[in-house]
Amino acid sequence: MVGVKILGAGKFVPDIIATNDDFAKIVDTNDEWITTRTGIKKRHIANGEPTWYLGAMAAKAAVKNSGVEPEDIGLIIVTTITNDYSTPSISCIIQRELGVKGSMAIDVNCACSGFVYGFDMAKRYLQTDDNLKYALVVSAEELSKITDYTDRSTCVLFGDGAAAVVLEKCENSIYSAYLGADGTGAKFLLAKSYDSHTPFSNDEVKVEDDMPKRDNNCLYQDGRVVYKFATKTLPLACEKSCEMLGITPNDIDCIIPHQANKRIIETAAKNLSLPLERFFLNLEEYGNTSSASVPLALCDAIDTGAIKRGDKVCLVGFGAGLTYGSVIFEY
Ligand code: UT7
C-alpha cells in the first residue's frame, strides 16, 4: 500500500505566554475553572507578527529538519482560518519566504480539521503525480486576531502557533483516511467575514440564514453542542480509519487528536477502551490553536520520542464546518 513518510517536522510559537491567571485579570474566570473544564494552562500569543510569519518560521524549521532542498518541494499546502490577506493566499507568501519557485501553492480552510485534510491532500498528490518529489504541509493560526477578549466562554480556549511537515511518497506502507463534514452544523462555530455591499443599489437583498447574528468578526461557539459533536466524532473518526485498514484502535501506537479540551480526549479514550496514555496531549502548553494544534502535537510527539519510526500514528481533527477527519500512517 502506498503511504506517506514524514521527512521532517518543525514548529514555531510566538513568545508571549498568557497563563490562566493572566485571563483572570481581564475576565471573570480563574485557573481552577479553566484547568478542570479544559486542561489548558497557557497559550502563546502573537505580538504583531502576521500569521504567515509563524507559518514561514515553522516551514523553514521543517524543511531544515527534512534535509530536502527547498527547490525540490513541488507542493505547498497551508491550512489556516486566520489568513492575513483575502488574497494572495498564505501559501504563496510562505512559498516566497522559503525561496521556492514554481511549486503549487494551495490554501485550505477546514478549521481545526485543516491539517488532517491538508496531509491527506498532499498524500494524494504525491501518490498520483510522479513528477512531485516532496510536499510541504503547514498549519498556521493566530486565533488571537479573532478572539473576543471580553467573552470568558471562548477567550480562554485559544492560542497562536504554527507547525509544518515535509512529506514524500512511501511504497509498502500503511495509510487510510476518513474525512467528512456536516454543514448543517455551520451555525455552531463561526467567525464572520465581510458583508456584501454595493454603491449601485440601496435595496439590500435579504437572504434567510440560520447563522447567529454577529456584530463583530470574533469567534462564536456553542460550546456544549460542539463538545457533544467532538466527543462523538473523535472516536468515530479513529474507528473508521482503522476499519479501512482492518485493524482496531488498540493497534494504533499513538493517537494525536485536535487539542481542544482534555475532557473531550478523556471521553474519547474511554469510548475507545484505550488508556489516556495512548493519546498525545500538549494542550496544557498551547491551548486550542485550530488547525495548528494537530501538527504542533505531532512535532512535540516526535521531539519527545512519544512516536518512533515504524509506529502506527492516527491524527484526528474536528471543528468548525462542522468538519472532521482522521488519517492513519506509519511514522
Ligand atoms: O476547536 C474546535 C472544537 N471546539 C471544541 O471542541 C470545544 C468544545 N466545547 C468545550 O470544550 C466546552 O464546552 C467549553 C470548554 C467551551 C465549555 O465547557 P463546559 O463545561 O461545556 O461549560 P459550559 O459552557 O456549560 O458553562 C458552564 C458554566 C456557565 O455558567 P452557568 O451558566 O452554569 O452559571 C458558564 O457561564 O461555566 C461558565 N463559564 C465560565 N466560568 C468561569 C464559561 N466560561 C467560563 C470561564 N470561567 N472561562
- Decide if 3-170 and 175-194+210-330 have a common fold: yes
SS3 state at 131: coil
Which residues have any ligand 1 atom within 6 Å of their CB? 29, 33-34, 37-38, 112, 152-153, 156, 223-224, 226-227, 230, 260-261, 264, 288, 319
Per-residue pLDDT at 68 exceeds 90: yes
* Ligand 1 nearest-atom number relative to CA 23: 48
**Whole-Å CA distances, 327 to 59, 238, 244, 245:** 21, 8, 10, 11
Local structure of residue 28 (DSSP, 8 states)? S
Q: CATH classification of 3-170, choosing from 3.40.47.10, 3.40.50.300, 3.50.50.60, 3.40.50.880?
A: 3.40.47.10
Cα gap 123→126, rounded to integer Å: 5
Local structure of residue 159 (DSSP, 8 states)? -
Cα gap 106→78, rounded to integer Å: 6
CATH number of 175-194+210-330: 3.40.47.10
* Residue range 202-220: mean pLDDT, rounded: 90
**Whole-Å CA distances, 104 to 91, 101, 135:** 9, 9, 9
Cα gap 173→184, rounded to integer Å: 36
DSSP codes, 242-263: HHHHT--GGG-SEEEE--S-HH
pLDDT digits (tens, 9 = 90+) for 213-242: 999 999 999 999 999 999 999 999 999 999
Element at 269 (helix H, strand E) = helix 262-271
Per-residue pLDDT at 183 exceeds 90: yes
**For the chain, domain boundaries:** 3-170, 175-194+210-330
271 CA distance to ligand 1 centroid (A)?
22
Atom 17 in ligand 1: residue holding the nearest Cα: 223
pTM of the model: 0.97
| Strand order across the 73-79 sheet | 3-12, 160-170, 134-142, 73-79, 104-108
* Residue range 201-221: mean pLDDT, rounded: 91
Per-residue pLDDT at 206 exceeds 90: no
Could you tell me if 152 and 35 are in contact, meaning their C-beta atoms sit under 8 angstroms apart? no
> Which grid cell sits at 194?
465581510
Residue 149 pLDDT level (bands cut at 50, 70, 90): very high
Per-residue pLDDT at 167 exceeds 90: yes
- Give residue 53's pLDDT: 98
- Exposed (0-12), middle (13-18) or buried (19+): which is 304, by Cβ within 10 Å? exposed
Could you tell me if 259 and 12 are in contact, meaning their C-beta atoms sit under 8 angstroms apart? no
